[in-house]
Amino acid sequence: MVSYVLRTGEKGSSAPNTREQIMRAVEELGYKTDFAARALRTGKSRIIGVVLPRINQGYLHSLVMELEEAFRNYGYSLFYSYFHSGDERHKSFGDAMDRMSAMNVEAIITPGLQDNMPDMSIPVIIWGNDRKGYDCVYPDKTAFGFDVIKRLYENGHRRILVAGIIEDSRYAAMKEAMCRYGILEQAHFFDGVASAKNAVVVMREIAGMELRPTAVVFHSDEMAVSGIFEAYRLGIKVPQEISVIGYDNLPIGTWVAPMLTTYDQRFDVMAKELARVTVCRLKNPDVPRLSVGIEMNYIERKSFIAITH
């Protein structure tokens, strides 16, 4: 009777009197449903696994907090497992996934960076990019690529430098956009990991150019901030001589001078969508693949200005 009342509440066919008695006892005794017993009986843990790279980048923390909130609304808890992204990346990733199975998680959320994903008997939802064969939630980098070039062009910029991991899908879109505007020839692409150090390298290269670009689009706010600092050191004025655009919308973007113009991945929306997609997949395993692209937010600040010819 207790179990029945607790589950059905007012809706079940139980006597009001019985209900009250039960609820009072629950209150008095501080009864809480035992998680392990329920999981054992139902075969469902109500836990979702989140597999993340073990990198010291604060933006992951933002995502985690949003995920916690989004999944809590569906009554799910999250369980994390970090993998090393160094040499033994593949093995470490496999281990992380294994730890998940041992915990009876009902689904796994992971960035889709791995080349060969281990087979899983539970749903795997990819976060960050669109990967064939998996449910995915990701920032719409193609739209971003077009948008940023469009903004630059419409504000008079013609010589644009782009620095980041060029294989990333955003850069194909940028090239395409530049091509349409007829400014691809004058563009520079700096290929390298998105580190503060590389931003310094980029800025120094720019300083040595005969015909400098009027704008730089960096792969991350980390690069952008580092780049702005190096520009200071080199005596290049931002944004008067060169506009800088970042990507991530980290807090530091508001600490620098000039404050950083950037794009926001909207982790809040992304987390909500991840939760929605995950729950949908769990409820209905046969639904066709879900793929959700999220439009990024342009954050207008001071490191980007229009130029006049």
Total residue count of the chain as it appears in this document: 309
Q: Which residues contact 174 (CB under 8 A, 6 or more apart)?
A: 145, 146, 148, 149, 162, 217
Q: How far apart are CA 11 and CA 219, in angstroms?
A: 54
Closest CA to 84 of 114, 49, 127: 114
Q: Which of residues 42-61 bind DNA (CB under 7 A)?
A: 42-43
Q: Which of residues 253-292 bind a copy of itself (CB under 8 A)?
A: 254-257
Q: How far apart are CA 144 and CA 99, in angstroms?
A: 36
Closest approach, Cβ 36 to DNA, in A, equals 7
- Say if strands 297-299 and 262-264 run parallel, antiparallel, or are unpaired: antiparallel
Q: Which of DNA, a copy of itself, none sits in contact with 189, Cβ below 5 to 8 A by type?
A: none
Residues β-bridged to residue 108:
49, 124
Distances from the Cα of 283 to the Cα of 31, 243, 274, angstroms: 29, 48, 14
Number of residues that bind a copy of itself (CB under 8 A): 46
Name the DSSP class of 217: E
Q: Which of residues 73-112 bind a copy of itself (CB under 8 A)?
A: 77-82, 99, 101-104
Residue type, position 10, single letter: E
- Binding range to DNA, per CB under 7 A, among 32-40, 125-133, 195-203, 209-217: 32-40
Closest approach, Cβ 76 to DNA, in A, equals 15
- Assess 34 for contact with DNA (CB under 7 A): yes
Angle formed at CA 287 by CA 284 and CA 293, multiple of 5 degrees: 115
Residue with token string 């899908």: 169
Check if the beta carbon of residue 72 is closer than 8 Å to that of residue 57. no
Closest approach, Cβ 102 to a copy of itself, in A, equals 5
Binding mask 18-37 for a copy of itself (x = CB under 8 A): --------------xxxxxx
> Taking the mean position of all CA atoms in its chain, how far away is CA 303?
24
Closest approach, Cβ 55 to a copy of itself, in A, equals 8
Closest approach, Cβ 197 to a copy of itself, in A, equals 9
Nearer to DNA, 7 or 54 (CB): 7
Q: Which of DNA, a copy of itself, none sits in contact with 101, Cβ below 5 to 8 A by type?
A: a copy of itself
Q: Which of a copy of itself, DNA, none sits in contact with 58, Cβ below 5 to 8 A by type?
A: a copy of itself
Q: Which residues contact 146 (CB under 8 A, 6 or more apart)?
A: 173, 174, 176, 177
Nearer to DNA, 77 or 254 (CB): 77
- Binding range to DNA, per CB under 7 A, among 30-38, 157-165, 228-236, 282-290: 30-38
Four-CA torsion 45, 51, 57, 61, nearest 10 degrees: -20
Q: Which of a copy of itself, DNA, none sits in contact with 3, Cβ below 5 to 8 A by type?
A: DNA
Among 17, 56, 116, 308, binds DNA (CB under 7 A): 17
**3-state SS assignment for residue 103:** coil
Closest approach, Cβ 62 to a copy of itself, in A, equals 6
Among 24, 38, 197, 289, binds DNA (CB under 7 A): 38
Closest CA to 142 of 291, 277, 294: 294
Q: Which residues bind DNA (CB under 7 A)?
A: 1, 3-4, 6-7, 12-15, 17-18, 31-34, 37-38, 40-43
